[in-house]
């Protein structure tokens, strides 16, 4: 069985994340969407809420499991006996950072291979940071995030989807 992990903060999950996940689920037998909790970072959504929303979004993808972890991704991969890590690339600027991360991960866990999925053009400009900022300023983000995430953000920020 060929399994992979798709790690990230997913704070919040976007359509870009969902697109990468769906495409990866067609390539791999089993994908773990590993939601990273980083206590030193200020997150918009608590880790448990991110996990809950993602589970709602991906419930129709049978070979995907959602899990959470803190610490190094390579440690999580080793613990779960996963040797493939999925990352999404939106733009050339992502590549530089992702390449460095992939090389570092390879040093820490030589058996781990990083597979990059290019974002579809329609999602190439969407980032969780941008979505957070738009939502915090009171604007509609429904075109950028799956419905359960949008509903949470609308309620969280008392938005009215103008």
Express each pLDDT in 96-124 by its tens digit.
889 999 999 999 999 999 999 999 999 99
Is residue 126 included in any domain, yes or no? no
pTM, entire model: 0.92
Please answer whether residues 73 and 82 qualify as being in contact, where contact means their C-beta atoms are separated by less than 8 angstroms: no
Is residue 127 included in any domain, yes or no? no
Torsion angle (degrees, nearest 10) of CA 23, 24, 30, 31: -110
Q: Omega before 12 cis (within 30°)? A: yes
Q: Which of 19, 55, 20, 15 is nearest to 35 (CA)?
A: 55
Is residue 40 included in any domain, yes or no? yes
Domain, as residue range, for 96: 3-121
Is residue 31 included in any domain, yes or no? yes
Domain count of the chain? 1
- Residues 33-55 have a mean pLDDT of 90
Q: Find the CATH number of the domain harbouring 67.
A: 3.40.50.620
Is residue 141 included in any domain, yes or no? no
Catalytic positions: 17, 41, 90, 128
């Amino acid at each position: 069985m060929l399994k992979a992990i798709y790690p990230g903060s997913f704070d919040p999950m976007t359509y870009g994340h969902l697109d990468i996940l769906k495409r990866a689920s067609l390539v791999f037998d089993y994908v773990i969407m590993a939601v990273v909790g980083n206590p030193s970072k200020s997150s918009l959504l608590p880790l448990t809420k991110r996990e809950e929303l993602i589970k709602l979004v991906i419930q129709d993808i049978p070979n995907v499991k959602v899990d959470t972890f803190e610490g190094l991704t390579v440690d999580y991969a080793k613990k779960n006996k996963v040797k493939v890590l999925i990352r999404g690339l939106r733009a050339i600027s992502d590549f530089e950072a992702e390449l460095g991360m992939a090389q570092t991960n390879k040093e820490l866990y030589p058996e781990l291979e990083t597979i990059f999925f290019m974002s579809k053009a329609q999602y190439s400009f969407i980032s969780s940071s941008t979505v957070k900022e738009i939502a915090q300023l009171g604007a509609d983000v429904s075109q950028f995030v799956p419905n359960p995430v949008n509903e949470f953000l609308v309620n969280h920020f008392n938005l009215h989807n103008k």
